[in-house]
Amino acid sequence: MALQITDSNFNELLASGKPLVVDFWATWCGPCKMIAPFVDELAQEFSETVNIGKCNVDENSDLPMQFGVRNIPTLLFFKDGKLTDKHVGAATKAALKEKVEKLLG
């Protein structure tokens, strides 16, 4: 299961030393619902090496604003505390897994 990422716990997760993937989503977003199972599966698969979580844009406004998230789903990829990659829109599990593996490479 993916972590719940909020305005208040983001910095702690970013500083954890593990790469971080944040999926910005909303309950009413069709493409978000489409990739949600992939995000959960990848969170489980990479739980030892990468923090993967979801940030509900309706409940957290600071993070989306901080990173200029205008469309959802948007996935942001962080390594060593820095934003290294971004994906906007739906994607296959394979495409998302490739990006997560790139974080570890």
- The residue from 32, 43, 72, 96 that is catalytic is 32
Q: Is 55 a catalytic residue?
A: no
Is the distance from CB of 13 to CB of 54 less than 8 angstroms? no
Please give the Cα distance from 91 to 36 (Å, whole number): 10
Q: DSSP 3-state assignment of 5?
A: coil
- The residue from 2, 29, 55, 57 that is catalytic is 29
Closest of 79, 59, 53, 77 to residue 67, by C-alpha: 77
Q: Which helix (H) or strand (E) holds 51?
A: strand 51-56
Catalytic residues: 29, 32
